[in-house]
Structure 1
Amino acid sequence: MSQPRILLVDDEKAIRKLLQTVLAKEGYTDVDSVGSAEEAIEACRSKIYDLVILDVMLPGKSGFEAAPFIRETTDAPILFLTARSTDLDKLTGFAIGGDDYIVKPFNPLEVIARLKVHLRRTAGISPPLLARKPGGQEIYDFGYFSVDATAKELTVDGKFVDCPAQVFQLLLFLCRHPNRVFPKEELYERVWGGSAVNDDNTVMVHIHRIRERIERNPAKPEFLLTVRGMGYKLVRREGEK
């Protein structure tokens, strides 16, 4: 079994060194350490991590601001590490994609204990990621179809399928977040970068275009499902090759 890969993000070198030492003593040696949100975002775009320890108060972007960008590329647990201890801060952390919230000053052994809980919880989850090779290749495999994020290619039933840029971006976003339900308003904000208040049909049109490409029968979708009253989710069908 391979070592879990952990990303440690804190602008204080002393804290990073302390946590790396404690992690190493517990057998966690595959740890990348960075001091800013921008470095963390870039790291998550170039590598696959099993868990992210993320400080909130960082130079430039805060950890809260970085979390949505990190969530675009990974479903790995995010453990916020911060001196901000109000209930509002904690609720904010969970609302933007955090999985745990540890207040400074902290006991390093508590961090390790919580880390182990989250790694055990996610150990059996296999994301549909075939490979992220040294050159940065990122491929998502759903059996009947696969998406190569690096080459910007969609393959369906063994054949390349043409896919317009915005359709591809929506599909890629869903591939990176399998089995999660997204309201169409959130999809519009995350993929198009704006509010969907005055654009109610764009997401639905693009969902239809994706289904035309990846489904055996677009009228009876197997992968890109509508969750009535909630939104859409892309599910992975295990065992389909």
Structure 2
Amino acid sequence: MAVPPSFADLGKSAKDIFNKGYGYGMMNLDVKTKTLEGEFKMSGSMNMDTNRVTGTQENQYKWPQHGLTFTEKWTTENTLGAGVCVEDKIAKGLKLSFDTMFSPNTGKKSNLLKTAYKREYLNAGLDVDLDFAGPTLHGAAVGGYKGWLGGCQMTYDSTKSKMTQGNISLGYKTENTQIHTNMYVCFKPDKYLHLFHTMMTRYVRIYHKSAKNVCKCEGIKIDAALYVDR
């Protein structure tokens, strides 16, 4: 089996139905171009009801012989970002990166140290949000074997000395069919338990989402996409 996807990408193809398949009242534009030494991305959206326009721009500069990638970002909210990462140089499959964001309007800053390691049957990562009050740890791991996928993700807030959220995900994938379920648990009373169920074949993709608490079901979304020729 090849390297399994990261935890954030589990079930991504089905989740994109809501994010990319429906643009009612919205106009979206995505531009991407690549060269041997870099990559340029630009995305924008416009709300037709409010005429509000938002957008982001990202530039990447690569130094292949040293495994380095430098990134700079800008958004229409006047948020500036920069980052650097090194991959497959310290160890095969290991990626280290550091991202920083700054908003001149609000003075808000964020610094994120990321580590990721992937190999056959395993994809794991640990991110550290370097806040002045105390770091927050985000850990995730995904394992795969003969089409089966299983993963978990946890967040630990050092300022509160406790776990704040967790996710457990299971799935099965073949060439033409993919089944995925995800359970989100928040470590607080009276919060919600989110369940995501996905079934995807080569021509049909169905996505079911429900959010509920102990007493009642709060919401359900069911979606499907049909591919005529694929």
TM-score range, shorter chain: under 0.3
Instruction: Report which of the two has the higher share of helix.
Output: 1
* Structure-1-length-normalised TM-score: 0.23
* Structure-2-length-normalised TM-score: 0.24
Instruction: Report which of the two has the higher share of strand.
Output: 2
